[in-house]
Copies of this chain bind each other. A is one copy, B any other.
Amino acid sequence: MKAPRPRLRDVAQAAQTSTKTASRVINGDERVSASTRARVEQAVQDLGYRPDPLARSLRLGQDETIGVVVDEVGDPFFASVIGEIERMALDRGISVIIASTRRLAERERIVLDGLLQRRVAGLIIASISDNHAYLRTSPCPLVFIDRAAADLAADAVVVDDRGGARMAVEHLMRHGHRRIAYIGDRLDTATARSRLTGYRDALDAAGIAPDDALIAEVEPAKGDAGVAAETLLRLQDPPTAIFSANTRCSLGTLPTVHRLRRTDIGFVSFGDFAMADTITPAITIVDHSPELIGRLAAERLFSRLAGEEPPVETIFAPLRVVPRGSGELGPL
Assuming the contacts A95-B118, A258-B278, A280-B280, asked whether A72 and B65 have C-beta atoms less than 8 A apart, the reply is: no
Chain B CB within 8 A of A119 CB: yes
Chain B CB within 8 A of A99 CB: yes
Residue of B nearest to A78 (CB): B79
Chain B CB within 8 A of A63 CB: yes
Residue of B nearest to A282 (CB): B258
Query: Are A54 and B65 interface neighbours, CB within 8 A?
Result: no
Binds B, one of A25-33, A80-88, A123-131, A162-170: A80-88
Sample of 16 A–B contacts (CB below 8 Å)? A2-B137, A52-B117, A54-B63, A73-B79, A74-B79, A79-B79, A86-B98, A86-B100, A87-B100, A90-B99, A95-B115, A96-B97, A255-B275, A275-B278, A275-B279, A278-B279
Residue of B nearest to A61 (CB): B54
Chain B CB within 8 A of A311 CB: no
Q: Name the interface residues of A266-310: CB closer than 8 Å to any CB of B.
A: 273-280
Chain B CB within 8 A of A58 CB: yes
Give Cα A50 to B278, complex, Å.
51
Chain B CB within 8 A of A111 CB: yes
Chain B CB within 8 A of A53 CB: yes
Q: Which residues of A contact B (CB under 8 A)?
A: 2, 50, 52-55, 57-58, 63, 65, 72-74, 76, 79-80, 82-84, 86-87, 90, 93, 95-100, 111, 113-115, 117-119, 137, 251, 254-255, 258, 273-280
Q: In the assembled complex, how far is the CB of residue A45 from the closest CB belonging to chain B, in whole angstroms?
A: 16
Partner of A277, one of B57, B76, B255: B255
* Residues in B whose Cβ lies below 8 Å from that of A258: 278, 280
Residue in A54, A90, A255, A274 with the greatest tally of chain B CB atoms within 10 Å: A54
Query: Are A98 and B100 interface neighbours, CB within 8 A?
Result: no
* Residues in B whose Cβ lies below 8 Å from that of A83: 72-74, 100
